């Protein structure tokens, strides 16, 4: 038995809501999907005739939006109307780390989630299934249910947890062929209804149903495990640098053990992105709130290691450049937190830049998908120095070759494929000597660059 779903509303048109619901719309032409957001500019960008202006850059996204938009996929700022008409509502709003009050710097800020619940309750006149798509602390569904039941119009709400596991840069392929879809709930009919939607393109064997709390906790746990692998290999990268071992060789050697597996063992300047840090901080906070201090300390170490990795990448640049970067031009190739996305949230580049700017470096940045406005906003948000100082010390350019001209050093912060194919001969000849490259992604070819005369440093070598 399942409910009949004709219309879906998704609240939150961000990096998750936009791509996820576009794929659901593409795969389920019989369901009308409206994605709503309070951010007027974002909705206008999703509705832009020119698909290059979509607010989220993801390979393959434009084709999907082109196919479904205006057919059964709509973007709107009219939240009340879409909520009222929907049989099923996905909540996909942001759940950032709280930056005030109790739990500041650790807990998830659930104010946007609660606002959604109150708005749904006040508008809904018919029964609805509410789907938690945002990443939430375990037991949030109980709070949502309480708000919906006490402030609503006497209609029935069934709450499901359906966390999203897509990674940015590969969102469309992750959504089209997910390792698993996870659905947690208490009401079997509601669970079956959501299962039926995914069955339009996901094989039954990849659809897993659990209780609500397992589903909520699995999402935080998955991110904690993934981030832990990056911090684990990054910790080994430092040991490699001291001992003559090469971290790529170590990764390969351990990854071939099928019990360990080869993915997520790429040493780097540190993990970034909007979720790893926030979700681990949240896990640590939850563990501490239950008095589980050993559990909390265990996961906290993943963040400590990541902060250390960013700091020591910057320290190595300073030390190698004869212990001063004051007044020196350092060129950053890449600002996004990984390749194939325009997202810069918590990108390692932001923190490395901040350390170097505190040492009075002059930084020039090139990233193929990130705008100058975004880069300055990221630096201003740190509040380390005034916006005027940030603009005086940091230049953002559109041409990578020009970016490298007269630089003392190049730092590779994002693993964009195009960096591999640059005319490194020309770059070398336009740089100050010795010409240094600090490869935070282990992207470039050491032998080729050293033959050209570069001084090449890579993480974990
Ligand atoms: P985002 O900031 O890109 O998008 C969230 C959107 O929600 C914003 O556009 C915001 O304006 C809108 N919003 C907030 N409150 C609203 C309200 N009351 N009514 C209408 N719109 C509202 O965030 P995101 O990256 O899409 O992440 C959303 C959630 O998904 C988070 O909980 C995150 O942890 C989780 N998640 C993110 C990813 C990822 O790769 N980014 C992957 C899996 C899960
Ligand atoms: C991550 C998870 O992979 C998704 O499953 C999850 O849904 C998502 O978080 C989320 O909840 O937001 P995402 O942050 O988009 O996805 O990107 P990842 O591919 O996980 O990369 C995260 C960071 O780790 C990046 O900075 C990346 O460069 C770094 N990383 C990743 C490494 O340094 N080494 C690796 O081997 C893998």
Nearest ligand 2 atom, CA 279: 11
Helices marked H in 69-210 — which ranges?
Answer: 79-85, 111-123, 140-151, 171-176, 188-198
Angle ∠(324,330,336) on CA atoms, nearest 5:
130
pLDDT at 267: 98
Distance CA(148)–CA(36), nearest Å, equals: 19
Pocket of ligand 2 contains residue 275 by CB under 6 Å = yes
Residue 273: band (very low, low, confident or very high) from pLDDT cuts 50, 70, 90: very high
Pairing between β-strand 409-412 and β-strand 436-439 as defined by DSSP bridges: parallel
pLDDT tens column, 324-349: 999 999 999 999 999 999 999 999 99
Distance CA(248)–CA(337), nearest Å, equals: 20
Q: Whole-number mean pLDDT of the chain? A: 97
Q: Is 248 helix (H, G, I), strand (E, B) or coil?
A: helix
Name the residue with the closest Cα to ligand 2, atom 8: 167
pLDDT at 316: 98
The whole-number average pLDDT for the span 18-45 is 98
Looking at the chain, the whole-number percentage of residues with pLDDT higher than 90 is: 99
The whole-number average pLDDT for the span 261-271 is 98
Looking at the chain, the whole-number percentage of residues with pLDDT higher than 70 is: 100
- Please, are residues 185 and 122 in contact by the beta-carbon 8 Å criterion? no
Q: Is the pTM of this model over 0.90?
A: yes
Nearest ligand 2 atom, CA 169: 15
pLDDT tens column, 33-88: 999 999 999 999 999 999 999 999 999 999 999 999 999 999 999 999 999 999 99
pLDDT at 51: 96
- Read off φ and ψ for residue 293, nearest 5 degrees: -70, -35
pLDDT at 151: 87
The catalytically annotated residue of 10, 28, 128, 164 is: 164
Residue 121 has pLDDT above 90, yes or no: yes
Q: Which of the listed residues 92, 169, 271 should we mutate to test ligand 2's pocket, taking the one with most ligand atoms within 8 A of CB?
A: 271
- The tokens for 142 are 């109980």
Residue 275 has pLDDT above 90, yes or no: yes
Residue 442 annotated in active site: no
* Ligand lying closest to the C-alpha of residue 179: 2
Name the residue with the closest Cα to ligand 1, atom 20: 37
- The tokens for 448 are 């080729």
The whole-number average pLDDT for the span 92-104 is 97
Residue 1: band (very low, low, confident or very high) from pLDDT cuts 50, 70, 90: confident
Angle ∠(132,134,140) on CA atoms, nearest 5:
60
Distance CA(24)–CA(171), nearest Å, equals: 13
Residue that has been written with the tokens 């559109």 in this structure: 398
Distance CA(238)–CA(260), nearest Å, equals: 20
The catalytically annotated residue of 28, 116, 275, 404 is: 275
Residue 94 has pLDDT above 90, yes or no: yes
Residue 430: band (very low, low, confident or very high) from pLDDT cuts 50, 70, 90: very high
CA of 266 to the centre of ligand 1 (A): 27
Nearest ligand 2 atom, CA 414: 28
Q: Is 149 helix (H, G, I), strand (E, B) or coil?
A: helix
DSSP summary character for residue 418: G
Distance CA(459)–CA(310), nearest Å, equals: 11
Name the residue with the closest Cα to ligand 1, atom 9: 14
Pairing between β-strand 73-76 and β-strand 128-132 as defined by DSSP bridges: unpaired
Residue 275 annotated in active site: yes
- The tokens for 182 are 């996870």
Q: Which of the listed residues 11, 15, 279 should we mutate to test ligand 1's pocket, taking the one with most ligand atoms within 8 A of CB?
A: 15
Q: H or E segment at 159?
A: strand 157-161
- The tokens for 118 are 């109150």
- The tokens for 122 are 């006040």
Residue 449: band (very low, low, confident or very high) from pLDDT cuts 50, 70, 90: very high
Pocket of ligand 2 contains residue 338 by CB under 6 Å = yes
Residue 29 has pLDDT above 90, yes or no: yes
């Amino acid at each position: 038995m399942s409910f009949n779903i004709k219309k879906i509303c998704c609240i939150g048109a961000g990096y998750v809501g936009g791509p996820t619901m576009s794929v659901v719309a593409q795969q389920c032409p019989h369901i009308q999907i409206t994605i709503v957001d309070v951010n007027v500019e974002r909705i206008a960008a999703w509705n832009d005739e020119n698909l290059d202006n979509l607010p989220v850059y993801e390979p393959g996204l434009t084709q999907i939006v082109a196919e479904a938009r205006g057919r059964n996929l709509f973007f709107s700022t009219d939240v009340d109307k879409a909520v009222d008409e929907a049989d099923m509502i996905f909540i996909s709003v942001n759940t950032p780390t709280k930056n005030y009050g109790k739990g500041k710097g650790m807990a998830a800020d659930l104010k946007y989630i609660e606002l959604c619940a109150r708005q749904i309750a006040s508008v809904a006149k018919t029964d609805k299934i509410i789907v938690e798509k945002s990443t939430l602390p375990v037991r949030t569904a109980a709070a949502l249910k309480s708000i919906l039941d006490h402030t609503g119009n006497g209609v029935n709400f069934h709450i499901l947890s359906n966390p999203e596991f897509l990674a940015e840069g590969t969102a469309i392929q992750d959504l089209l062929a997910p390792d698993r879809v996870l659905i947690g709930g208490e009401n079997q009919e509601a669970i079956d209804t959501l299962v039926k939607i995914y069955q339009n393109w996901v094989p039954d064997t990849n659809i897993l149903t659990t209780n609500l709390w397992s589903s909520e906790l699995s999402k935080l746990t998955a991110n904690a495990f993934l981030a832990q692998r990056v911090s684990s290999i990054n910790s080994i990268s430092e040991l490699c640098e001291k001992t003559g071992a090469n971290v790529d060789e170590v990764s390969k050697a351990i990854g071939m053990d099928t019990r360990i597996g080869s993915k997520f063992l790429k040493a780097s300047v540190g993990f970034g992105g909007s979720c790893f840090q926030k979700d681990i901080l949240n896990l640590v906070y939850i563990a501490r709130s239950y008095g589980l201090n050993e559990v909390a300390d265990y996961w906290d170490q993943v963040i400590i290691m990541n902060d250390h990795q960013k700091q020591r990448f910057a320290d190595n640049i300073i030390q190698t450049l004869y212990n001063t970067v004051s007044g020196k031009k350092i060129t950053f190739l890449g600002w996004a937190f990984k390749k194939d996305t325009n997202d810069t949230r918590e990108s390692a580049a932001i923190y490395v830049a901040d350390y170097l700017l505190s040492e009075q470096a002059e930084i020039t940045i090139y990233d193929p998908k990130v705008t100058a406005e975004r880069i300055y906003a990221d630096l201003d948000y740190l509040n380390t120095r005034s916006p005027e100082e940030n603009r005086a010390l940091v230049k953002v350019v559109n041409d990578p070759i020009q970016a490298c001209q007269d630089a003392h050093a190049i730092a590779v912060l994002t693993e964009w494929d195009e960096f591999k194919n640059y005319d490194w001969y020309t770059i070398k000849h336009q740089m100050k000597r010795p010409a240094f490259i600090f490869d935070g992604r282990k992207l470039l070819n050491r032998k080729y660059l050293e033959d050209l005369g570069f001084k090449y440093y890579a993480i974990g070598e």
